[in-house]
Structure 1
């Protein structure tokens, strides 16, 4: 983490997008810079350009956020082929093995890295809508973990509500019978969304919902 403010952090939004947004699929470098720009002063020290290219991204944060969080950020996409028309989704690909080692694509199951007691955050960013979507990481790697390129989805009404109100959350029923609370937020409400994500995840754990 560095103390010197990087130039990309203070660029006007249109200039940042023109310079850093890839023409096709979003890179980790672009997604992580977008995340740091959204959190702004809540980030305690700026990650290097090299760190920004690696997934997941660990950030030191200021109160009222936890001191550190580990972010798994993917590009959120919308596909008409999904069973629920208009569903937004990300595809999980990065994780660790049961014993905490980096998982290769050949590994059948993987989990989010929780080493050093750093909480994982599973999230997507939709560049066209300039919107973050936050899923419950605890729910998606419970017990047997998740497979490589597993699709994690959210109903479109949560996204539309967040676009209208800047932040919104709502339920999605999963195949195993659990109900996941999903949050979507504009960048300027992301700090609030993260605190809400943690609160809702903790409530689900305490109530034994999964």
Structure 2
């Protein structure tokens, strides 16, 4: 009974850390998106409204997403080559503790990159006027999110939550904005 209440208390503390970290990530995302929409157009010449220019920006953004996937692949590959327990590959055993964090980072990064790419594409197609600064901000947040996710991973869910939220919230925003734009266009 005491062990269960101790475990429940530890779970609640970790959940509170996750909420605090996620709230901090939300504030950072809001600030970066606001700066991108307000300041970025004053600092740089954004691509025009034509589809070709928008798709070029989206393709460039995808290169940054792919770079993070490639980083994860490199981490797992290097770890496998250096570990007798892992060198045979994932078909023969789950990752050993030596590469477990790298494998989890790669898996999560693949998932996040897939969602980010599709959500950004929806923005490019459905909200052309707003998509360019939002995509620039999303790529920056994705990169910072991946770094902080990886750095926090060994210290638990509360420590990696900031990076997770910083990575996921831009995709959620793009999804909601894209869906809203689609509903608006269909209703007209």
Query: Could you say which structure has the higher helix fraction?
Result: 2
Whichever of the two has the greater Rg, that structure is 2
When the two structures are superposed, what TM-score results if normalisation uses the length of structure 1?
A: 0.23
When the two structures are superposed, what TM-score results if normalisation uses the length of structure 2?
A: 0.25
